[in-house]
């Protein structure tokens, strides 16, 4: 099947086809979600919280992101691979933004994602000019949690709603190929989707976007405190817990390993080994 590229997502919007994006942070997960026929895989900085145990995405480093991008890229997915640019990897200067985005591409990403709007437009333009496809991210921007006062629903007031809409349009004008809208009231996400010619991908922002994205740990039931908009499709935590408990019990009671999981020498080789040991002693 044909490899999905950023331009394909734009074509999907024009055709009215919903875009499916999900996060993945390692080789086996990337292989599985790609087999499930998703359109895009986001190697999100959310890995800081769901994989590395940080309290937020702020501590995530470029080295950590590159490590996980490489792992996902090794699965050679048909889906578009997008590397999330971590906090302070692109905000400082145009040159630093281009350099770090270039590292993402060299690691195997086919596009990068950045959080913010008008305040980072010059960096987005620089990355696009360097030939790097950029996905924007507006609404709730977790890397700016300290500034906005925590994890909260965005766009409820007119002034904030107008700012989010302006940010999304500015990202399109700067050359972004798509925009993520996070935890924003559905009405604002609908307006943005109708105004932009590039696709919008919602996470907790209602049904009217061109696509949806969720963190895979949330849909698998592996997150201790999932966000209110996430849907759990399976309780994998219980399945894992039950499996490990059974394994531990079987080891302690001698049930595992059984004959089925035990490998043997031939009787002749074993006899010869015992004879050699006996002679050497």
On the question of pLDDT at 266 being above 90, the answer is yes
Encoding tokens for residue 77?
Answer: 């997915």
Sequence-distant (≥ 6) Cβ neighbours of residue 81 within 8 angstroms: 30, 40, 41, 43, 69, 72, 73, 108, 109, 110, 111
Same domain (yes/no): 245, 228: no
Q: 168 in a domain, yes or no?
A: yes
Structural domain for 63, as ranges: 6-234
**Picking from 86-95, 100-109, 144-153, which range would have the lowest pLDDT averaged per residue?**
144-153
**pLDDT (average), residues 153-161:** 98
Same domain (yes/no): 205, 271: no
Annotated catalytic, 182? yes
Same domain (yes/no): 248, 215: no
**Predicted pLDDT of residue 169:** 99
**Predicted pLDDT of residue 149:** 86
**Predicted pLDDT of residue 250:** 98
Dihedrals phi, psi of 80, to nearest 5 degrees: -65, 130
Q: Domain holding 81: CATH number? A: 3.20.20.60
Same domain (yes/no): 27, 131: yes
Per-residue pLDDT tens digits for 213-226? 999 999 999 999 99
**pLDDT (average), residues 3-20:** 99
Same domain (yes/no): 155, 23: yes
Encoding tokens for residue 110?
Answer: 């086919």
- Name the residue with higher pLDDT: 100 or 147: 100
Question: In angstroms, rounded to a whole number, what is the distance separating the alpha carbons of residues 146 and 36?
Answer: 36
Sequence-distant (≥ 6) Cβ neighbours of residue 263 within 8 angstroms: none
Same domain (yes/no): 109, 16: yes
**Predicted pLDDT of residue 110:** 99
pTM over 0.85: yes
Q: What mean pLDDT is reported for the chain? A: 98
Same domain (yes/no): 118, 157: yes
Catalytic residue from among 182, 187, 250, 260: 182
Concatenated DSSP letters for 170-230?
HHHHHT-SEEEEESB-HHHHHHHHHH-SS-EEEESS-S-SSEEEE-HHHHTT--SS--TT-
Question: In angstroms, rounded to a whole number, what is the distance separating the alpha carbons of residues 134 and 151?
Answer: 24
Q: How many CB atoms lie within 10 A of CB 189?
A: 29
Same domain (yes/no): 157, 251: no
Per-residue pLDDT tens digits for 168-207? 999 999 999 999 999 999 999 999 999 999 999 999 999 9
Query: What is the number of structural domains in the chain?
Result: 2
On the question of pLDDT at 150 being above 90, the answer is no
Q: 244 in a domain, yes or no?
A: yes
| DSSP reduced 3-state for 83 | strand
Same domain (yes/no): 101, 155: yes
**pLDDT (average), residues 120-126:** 99
Q: 120 in a domain, yes or no?
A: yes
Question: In angstroms, rounded to a whole number, what is the distance separating the alpha carbons of residues 249 and 243?
Answer: 10
Tell me the percentage of the chain whose pLDDT exceeds 90.
Answer: 97
Same domain (yes/no): 216, 275: no
Q: 1 in a domain, yes or no?
A: no
Q: Which of 46, 34, 115 is nearest to 72 (CA)?
A: 34
**Predicted pLDDT of residue 248:** 99
What value does the CA radius of gyration of the chain take, rounded to a whole number of Å?
24
Per-residue pLDDT tens digits for 40-93? 999 999 999 999 999 999 999 999 999 999 999 999 999 999 999 999 999 999
């Amino acid at each position: 099947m044909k490899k999905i590229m950023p331009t394909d997502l734009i074509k999907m919007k024009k055709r009215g086809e919903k875009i499916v994006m999900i996060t993945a942070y390692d080789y086996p997960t990337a292989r599985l979600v790609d087999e499930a026929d998703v359109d895009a895989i986001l190697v999100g900085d959310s890995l800081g919280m769901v994989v590395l145990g940080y309290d937020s995405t702020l501590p995530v480093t470029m080295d950590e992101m590159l490590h996980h991008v490489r792992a996902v890229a090794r699965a050679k997915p048909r889906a578009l691979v997008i590397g999330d640019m971590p906090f302070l990897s692109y905000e400082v200067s145009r040159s630093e933004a281009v350099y770090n985005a270039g590292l993402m591409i060299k690691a195997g990403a086919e596009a990068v994602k950045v959080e913010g709007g008008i305040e980072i437009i010059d960096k987005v333009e620089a990355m696009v000019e360097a030939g790097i496809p950029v996905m924007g991210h507006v609404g709730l921007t977790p890397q700016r949690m300290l500034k906005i006062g925590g994890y909260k629903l965005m766009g409820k007031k007119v002034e904030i709603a107008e700012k989010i809409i302006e940010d999304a349009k500015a990202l399109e004008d700067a050359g972004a190929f798509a925009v993520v809208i996070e935890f924003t009231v559905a009405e604002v996400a609908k307006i943005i989707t109708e105004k932009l010619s590039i696709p919008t991908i919602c996470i907790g922002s209602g049904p009217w976007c061109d696509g949806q994205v969720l963190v895979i740990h949330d849909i698998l039931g592996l997150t201790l405190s999932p966000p209110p908009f996430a849907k759990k499709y399976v309780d994998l935590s219980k399945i894992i817990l039950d499996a490990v408990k059974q394994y531990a019990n079987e080891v302690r009671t001698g049930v595992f390993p059984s004959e089925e999981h035990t490998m043997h020498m031939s009787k002749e080789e074993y006899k010869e080994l015992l004879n050699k040991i006996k002679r050497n002693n």
